[in-house]
Structure 1
Amino acid sequence: MKHLRFLGLILVFVIAALAVPSVFAGAPTGGSPDDPLMVTGTSQTIAPNSSLWFYFDYTPDTGAPTFGGRLGRSSGKPLANVTVDANGVGGLALSIYTPDQAVNWLNDAATAPVGRGTPFVDVLSDSVTHDLYWSGGFNKPGRYFAVVTNNNSTPVSFVLTVAGETVQTIPPPTPTPSPTLFVPITVTPVPTGTVQGKFVFQDAIGGTIYTASDNGSKPVAVSHGIDPSWSPNGKQIIFARWDNTAPGVYIANADGSNERIVFTSPRARSPRMSPDGTQIVFTQQKKDWPDAVWKLGVVDIDTGVLTEPQCSRLCFSPSWAPDGKTIYYDDPTYGIMATDKTSGAPWAVMGPHGMYWDTAKNAAMPIEHLPPTSSAMISPDGNRVAFMMTAQDHWDINYVAATGGSEIGVTKQDVMLYVFYNVRISSGAPVWSPDGKQILFLSDRNGKWEFYTISPNGSDLKQVLKNVTDTINIKYDFQHERVIDWSK
């Protein structure tokens, strides 16, 4: 019997040894434009006196409005905004290559790039906020390249980001019908289920707004706009609109009737009604890139009087704590933040923390950057903040205590799919159930964006609202969208 067990173990390791090379042998090294790395927005290390090639996809202007804090332009072609941050370590260079230049580089490594990065100085604080920065637009679509070069004699840790209205750094999921999606027999399928309550959602940024329930009935189109949400009593919907005639923050009855504008703003996002139903918090764009500023606003529904709570530079996805005074939001630069609606400076709920060893300085240095976060929302009891965060090549749902601390993971990758079959699953746009016991979110685990619920401890994952996603295609752009909201 012992011999049989031993032979069984040998067989397992042999199978694993045969499978692993097929998965990892072709992993990119970043050594050339033929072998570029993905831009993940996370910290990585570059060897001394070497270069790493990273790719990003760029498309021409689609005519759609510009969204997001760092994604934008004032006029002309949409911009690709590239930053390198190395906690002040010098000796790095950033070069940008077009597709044609990359081909030429393969024949002649002396081929000049279309642009080079320089330090980015914040005009408000007169300080360097990015070690290297480049911004520009291109005349045609294609795969472009950012090359980071380390001219030091020691390794350097850095974070590379590429953002823009028409920039794609992580390949979007390719919709495939669920029955044809390859799922190994070792993977436990996600069960389907139903949830109680009613839902308001958008099919795309600026698209159609629907209401629905999870009883198999057909969703009902009630309006159009951005980031819909429910009033506390579930009788009204709140949303933003960016059209050319009357952009701003809107309220309407749940069936779309009696629609009216509450506050006029050319670039408002993520409106949400206060617990007592008298005010609406939202974020609005104050400045465009490269000095993008998004600030919070609180408007009194009856009087239209605007209050602007203190917040950081890029204030997205605001939500009300149960006290009706504290507002939680996320800032891609600082992490999860909170502020008082009337007075006082904002404070960090979850920001960069910990130390790393800087080999160039031969010293321990504080970590100054978080992986990008988005779509923060406080729970109904005010104890936890759910949000999404990048994890190398995908997004996951996390939460953090409202009083502060480190993130706690909620969703996770399937190990078999991730390691052996190179399948990455992204999850995003989290919202809490009315009782705070579940998180509703989007995921592309079936090859297209669909809705799922999960308990905050990561258990009880199930697919819901199939009556919605079987009939309506949900478009998700990773631009701080409030895709759906849940009411009793």
Structure 2
Amino acid sequence: MIEFVKRLVLLTILFIAVWVALQAKTSAAEESTIDVTLARAAIKGYMISLIHNDPILDPNFYLDATVAESDEAKILKSQTITGYLINNQRWIDGTIYQVNITLSPSGDSMTAYVGKMLGRWRITGLVLDIPSMITPKATEAPVEMPSATMVSPTSAITPVTPLESEYVARVINYGLNVRTEISTGSEIIYWLEYATVVPVLEKDPSTGWLKVQTPDGQIGWMSSYVEYVQVFGSDEEIPPLPTATSIPMPTPTSYVAMSTPTSYVSVTVPAMPAVEPEAVSAPIPAAMPAGGSYLILEERSGGGIYFINQDGTGLRLLAYGMDPAISPDGQTIAFASWNPLPEVRTIRLDGTEGQAWEVGNKVRSPTWRADGTQIFYSYNEGGKPGIDGGSHADKYCKQFDENSPNFLYDLASFQLPDRAIEVEVLDKPYRICYKVPPYAYWFIRAINVATNENTPIPSGLYSYSPYAHPTNNSLLFFTNVPGIVIYNFDTQSHIPVTTDRQDRAPVVSPDGSSIAVSYYQHDHWSIHVMNFDGGNRQMLTETSLTDIALGKSNANNAAPAWSPDGSQIAFLSDRNGKWELWVMNADGSNQRSMFQPGVLDNINFQYDGMDERMIIWR
């Protein structure tokens, strides 16, 4: 009996030891799986922030402080990255997770090392194997033009029966390429136009690209970026796209511009005391800009719009509003106003004979057609507001129940929204928190000045800052995420000029041969110029080596405007600590203050990076 009890005790102890060992092994496996998920979430958050490259996204959130200051991190932030592919990943020593990544569109590679620091997973090391990044490519931009042999939905094609699929995707950009492989460098097989719906056959888990069937039956891959496509269940009713083709347009009213701001102050700016600056006369500057005879200046969005002679004399307030544009005959200004109603307004240089077209939606960036018969503008309709309808990002947290039998599966299969920012992975309880910033849909329309007819211009959901070609009635430039496009009214087609989402608010030179843009360069605004077709890009403004050596931060330079003869560019710069009016030669040389000190002292310029058009030079 005693021997039996001993054996029973030994068996019990052995069973308990085995059970404890198995439990420890199971817990270790679960912990390892969780750690993999959280490490991958940190990598994905970092890559998304690099792809968006937007002022509100901060890639450093995912980096250890030392790594954030490294040359590798700075080089990556200076690049144009449109996608990524994870090639392989593994644990190094149980605490550091290594991920090898191929970047699009360059095809270059990088390796990231992720570790847990202060309870949060961060990138603790970056290694670049990128020959093309030895010299930062900030002044380069890929230009992607549809192939001349590409099949278009408007071409004659043989209808095919769509393959059965669980999901379908609808194009909401002005157009989207379908390619043979998951790479922006692979062959283009089809150009999907705006509003085209295609069946989704597969989604790549690493890049998010979609495998689709084109209308002519070909199978290829396309981006699933939220600003390009919308995805729906195949049995789901697809809502119509907002086109706003029937905005009521009342007969324009006449008005005389007043010298007080009460009728024109934009709702986007806090109310400020109405002080009309006194006209200031000044001696002709020693380096007086050549070309036109006067300028129209916007102080800030919704602020004063001023006239000033090129020699610095005759400063006077014209109106309150935003984004002024001068008519081809140089006599009438169009501008946008949101108060008391969203309107496109015109006013003559002497402050009289104005008209107002109530457009029913927020409006920006009016621009005159070359023959003066139409005014194009961008307007807002639809989108997602922020918290309480404001501009703050909504915060979400997805919590995972560690007691659920599906815990590991739920955690591993969770997908962040494409627009997610400030991603944070936390444990005990396990949760992934992130923010989704608000966004708005913007389209392009045209007003016929003589008949008051208001018509839509084909554009995607994110179309901003139109600018009419100064001599060709058939061409209209505008920002259409992710770059700049030209709409040709004769062929009714869009021509991509750039595919760099940092190109903002294009302005065309008087002879139509060149384009200048405000470009968001990592952490500051700079001015780039390029040929009509997007080639020969040059960065004209940059912080000098002397200032860098002295530890000065990069200055902002934005809102370019061509001189009437195209030989110079006026722009705003905060290199002296506040926004001021500057001028330079068209090649970027001889940068200097445009007027003598004191001429514009009563104007407090403010550029907010919202595609403002603040200078017109005639």
Distance 1:299 1:448, change over 3 A: same
Which of 318, 323, 333 lines up with 2:472 in the alignment?
323
Alignment correspondent of 2:525: 395
SS of the counterpart of 1:48?
A: strand
Alignment correspondent of 2:170: none
Distance 1:236 1:309, change over 3 A: same
Which of 554, 575, 585 lines up with 1:445 in the alignment?
575
Distance 1:225 1:403, change over 3 A: same
Cα contact 1:298–1:341 (8 A) shared by 2: no
Alignment correspondent of 2:614: 483
Shift of 1:204: 1.1
CA distance in 1, matches of 2:534, 2:553: 33
Alignment correspondent of 2:440: 292
Shift of 1:458: 1.7
TM-score by structure 2 length? 0.47
Moved more, 340-349 or 269-278: 340-349
SS of the counterpart of 2:113?
A: coil
The reply on whether 1:240 has 2:336 as its aligned counterpart is: yes
CA distance in 1, matches of 2:466, 2:226: 28
CA deviations 1:418-445 (Å, max 9, x no partner) are: 2442331111001111111111111111
Shift of 1:36: 6.7
The reply on whether 1:260 has 2:355 as its aligned counterpart is: yes
The reply on whether 1:197 has 2:293 as its aligned counterpart is: yes
Shift of 1:471: 2.3
Which of 248, 262, 283 lines up with 2:378 in the alignment?
283
The reply on whether 1:306 has 2:400 as its aligned counterpart is: no
Distance 1:194 1:249, change over 3 A: same
Written as runs of structure 1 = structure 2, the 5 A alignment for 1:16-415 is 31=63, 42=79, 47-50=112-115, 51=122, 121=226, 125-126=230-231, 193-195=287-289, 196-217=292-313, 219-243=315-339, 245-289=340-384, 290=438, 292-321=440-469, 322-331=471-480, 333-341=481-489, 344-351=492-499, 370=500, 372-415=502-545
Paired residues in the alignment total 323
Cα contact 2:227–2:462 (8 A) shared by 1: no
Cα contact 2:78–2:522 (8 A) shared by 1: yes
CA distance in 2, matches of 1:218, 1:35: 53
TM-score by structure 1 length? 0.59
Residue identity in the other structure for 1:199:
L
CA distance in 1, matches of 2:585, 2:311: 21
CA deviations 1:231-265 (Å, max 9, x no partner) are: 1222111101011x332111111122122113524
**Structure 2: stretches of 5+ with no match in the other structure:** 1-59, 82-109, 116-121, 125-182, 185-202, 208-223, 233-267, 270-284, 385-437
SS of the counterpart of 2:230?
A: coil
User: Structure 1 or 2: larger helix share?
Assistant: 2
Cα contact 1:329–1:377 (8 A) shared by 2: no
| Structure 1 stretches of 4+ moved >4 Å | 28-46, 86-92, 119-124
Cα contact 2:332–2:349 (8 A) shared by 1: yes
CA distance in 2, matches of 1:482, 1:208: 13
CA distance in 2, matches of 1:458, 1:123: 35
CA distance in 2, matches of 1:278, 1:285: 23
CA distance in 2, matches of 1:454, 1:312: 34
Shift of 1:451: 1.2
CA deviations 1:26-78 (Å, max 9, x no partner) are: xx89655899779968558672324259xxxxxxxxxxxxxxxxxxxxxxxxx
Which of 522, 546, 571 lines up with 1:416 in the alignment?
546
Q: In percent, how many aligned pairs have the same letter?
A: 26
Residue identity in the other structure for 1:234:
G
Cα contact 1:350–1:400 (8 A) shared by 2: no
CA deviations 1:200-231 (Å, max 9, x no partner) are: 12211111111112333352111111111211
CA distance in 1, matches of 2:583, 2:603: 19
SS of the counterpart of 1:346?
A: strand
Distance 1:463 1:120, change over 3 A: same
Cα contact 2:344–2:357 (8 A) shared by 1: yes
SS of the counterpart of 2:547?
A: helix
Distance 1:371 1:251, change over 3 A: closer
Cα contact 2:482–2:501 (8 A) shared by 1: no
Residue identity in the other structure for 1:320:
A
Cα contact 1:375–1:481 (8 A) shared by 2: yes
Q: What is the root-mean-square deviation in Å for CA atoms of aligned residues?
A: 3.4
